[in-house]
């Protein structure tokens, strides 16, 4: 539910490189939203979803527009400096429900254990960026309910979808 006219105005202020990068991130968010819809449609309205490595935040917003509450975590490691800038732009152009809580420079394990566990966790293109990917996968069990699900999506550069 991006306002296309606002998006055109906002992106016209970016460099050509930033415009290309943002276009890729927006396309990926829509692509992975479609991939996840089967899982997400099984969740009850108001269910909690954690997105780890939310980048520009568009996937979190799309998930939230389904009536789900999203805790969106972006650790913002080096090399991802434009993520906050692009997220601010996306939020200015977003015309829909915003059922998202934003947590920058953090992972769920860094928060109080009294926080309710999630029904679903998703991490898209994240494991290849963390020093201990297995630890992230194992930690996800403490962030999700006993009957919750976690989906880790990894890039397949041998067969790119773009």
pLDDT averaged over 10-residue windows placed end to end, the chain, 162 residues: 93 94 94 96 95 92 96 72 88 92 71 77 86 84 89 72 46
What is the rounded distance in angstroms from the CA atom of residue 123 to the CA atom of residue 137?
Answer: 10
pTM of this prediction?
0.88
3-state percent helix, strand, coil for the chain, nearest multiple of 5? 40, 20, 35
**Separation in Å, CA 29 to CA 22, 143, 146:** 11, 23, 27
Task: Give the pLDDT score at 110.
Answer: 56
The tokens for 33 are 């939203």
Task: Give the pLDDT score at 162.
Answer: 43
Closest CA to 73 of 121, 131, 4, 128: 121
What is the rounded distance in angstroms from the CA atom of residue 25 to the CA atom of residue 19?
Answer: 10
CA atoms within 13 A on the CB side of 18: 16
**Separation in Å, CA 158 to CA 9, 27, 113, 127:** 35, 19, 39, 17
The tokens for 130 are 């963390």
Contact 45, 64 (CB under 8 A): no
What is the rounded distance in angstroms from the CA atom of residue 156 to the CA atom of residue 143?
Answer: 26
């Amino acid at each position: 539910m991006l306002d296309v006219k606002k998006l055109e105005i906002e992106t016209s202020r970016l460099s050509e490189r930033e415009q290309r990068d943002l276009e890729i991130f927006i396309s990926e968010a829509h692509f992975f939203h479609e991939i996840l819809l089967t899982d997400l449609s099984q969740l009850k309205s108001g269910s909690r979803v954690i997105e780890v490595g939310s980048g520009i935040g568009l996937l979190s917003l799309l998930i939230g527009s389904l009536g789900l509450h999203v805790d969106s975590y972006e650790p913002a490691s080096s090399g991802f400096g434009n993520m906050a800038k692009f997220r601010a732009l996306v939020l200015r152009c977003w015309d829909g429900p915003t059922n998202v809580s934003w947590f920058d420079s953090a992972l769920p394990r860094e928060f109080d254990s009294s926080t309710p566990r999630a029904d679903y966790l998703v991490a898209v293109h994240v494991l290849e960026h963390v020093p201990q990917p297995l630890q992230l996968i194992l930690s996800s069990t403490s962030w999700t309910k006993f009957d919750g699900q976690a989906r880790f999506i990894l890039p397949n550069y041998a067969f790119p979808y773009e």
